[in-house]
Amino acid sequence: MKIELPLCLEPNLIKFKNLSFCNYIQKEPQIKNEVYIKNNIIIFVIKGTKLLHFENSSIQVNKDSILFLRSGNYIMSEILDEYYESLLFLYEDSLLLDFIKKYNISFKNESLKEINILKIDSSFEFENLIDTTKNYFLKDIKNKEELIKLKLEEAFLNILNSSSKEQFINLLASIYKSNYFKIEVEKNFTYEDNILDLAYKFNMPEVSFRKKFKEVFKMTPKKWQVIKRLEKAKVLLESTNMNVSEVCIQTGFDNLSWFIQTFKKYYSQTPTQLKNNKK
């Protein structure tokens, strides 16, 4: 049987901005299923045993194990016990990228190895974390999203203080590596310069840069740059005393009438209307 995650969990998923979670329960042994992992997944095993078969290896996860699976992988999965329960967290790369940034985690070049699977063995800290996290599924509480994210951050920090630190650093490096182009574009982008100038900075032919950019950002470099400039223009109009002409120049637009026309098309009002409405 072929299944796709998270599609098969859809009825039971609780969704947030860049994170979804589910309390998964299987009440009988399961024959092998071919599973396609469409989203990054963290599995906290509460009870039971599952065997996961990968291309060149197999991993058995038991009670209190934590398993990281990167998106884009095919696995064969089988549950060995009559009762299996786990907490599943499906997340975007941005969740771990924020963690890397918050704790200023850096990587040596030799550490940037691709890693798609990571199993963390049980410990008292993780057992306690799984127990307390499970309570959030059973209660309708305020600020659930923030609490769940804090529990995940706690898990990540505990891993950095465990014997699995090196493997976790490699997983983080893998996330960083796959997002390296996006991170560097956002870090080096300026509102005044043409974004295609970054092709030279990245030592890439302009055609290759355009292709990579569209693949990563799902839009052309020019469109992305215009949106970024418009977003900054909106902030300046709302929060400063700068006039429309000054904002136009400050955000890299070299034609006032085109700036006004583009702004109106994107925000459904002119820069002047926005500025007057804030008063």
Which one-letter amino acid corresponds to residue 81? Answer: D
Q: Could you tell me which residues are beta bridge partners of residue 75?
A: 35
**Entry pTM:** 0.69
Q: Which has more confidence, 33 or 157?
A: 157
**How many C-beta atoms surround the C-beta of residue 184 within 10 A?**
13
Give the per-residue pLDDT at 6: 73
pLDDT for residue 145: 84
> Could you tell me the pLDDT band of residue 259, with boundaries at 50, 70 and 90?
very high
Give the number of residues written for the chain: 279
Model pLDDT, residue 55: 73
**Is residue 112 predicted with pLDDT exceeding 70?**
no
| Res 32: pLDDT | 78
Q: What residue ranges define each of the domains in the chain, with the CATH number in brackets?
A: 2-178 (2.60.120.810), 180-279 (1.10.10.60)
pLDDT attached to residue 260: 96
- Is the pLDDT assigned to residue 1 strictly greater than 70? no
DSSP string over 57-74: -EEEE-TT-EEEE-TTEE
β strands within the chain, DSSP E: 2-5, 14-15, 19-26, 30-37, 40-47, 50-53, 58-61, 66-69, 73-79, 84-91, 117-120
Burial class (CB in 10 A: 0-12, 13-18, 19+), 49: middle
Sequence-distant (6+) residues with CB within 8 A of 278 are: 237, 238
Q: Give the sign of the dihedral formed by CA 234, CA 240, CA 244, CA 248.
A: negative
Average pLDDT, the chain: 86
Quote the pLDDT of residue 214: 92
Q: Where residue 271 falls among pLDDT bands split at 50, 70, 90?
A: very high
127 has a pLDDT exceeding 60: yes
From the number of C-beta atoms within 10 Å of its C-beta (0-12, 13-18, 19+), residue 86 rates as: buried
* pLDDT value, residue 233: 93
Higher pLDDT, 236 or 124: 236
Cβ-Cβ contacts under 8 Å for 179 (sequence gap 6 or more): 93, 97
Residue range 63-98, pLDDT digits in tens:
888 899 888 888 888 888 889 998 888 888 888 988
Q: Which among 108, 90, 81 has a CA at the least distance from the CA of 20? A: 90
Residue 220 reports pLDDT greater than 80:
yes
pLDDT in tens, 141-182: 788 888 888 888 988 998 898 888 888 988 898 888 888 888
pLDDT at residue 113 in the model: 62
Q: Which of 107, 119, 109 is nearest to 169 (CA)?
A: 107
**By the 8 A CB rule, do 172 and 111 touch?**
no
Where is pLDDT greater, at 271 or 125? 271
Confidence band, pLDDT 50/70/90 cuts, at residue 110: low
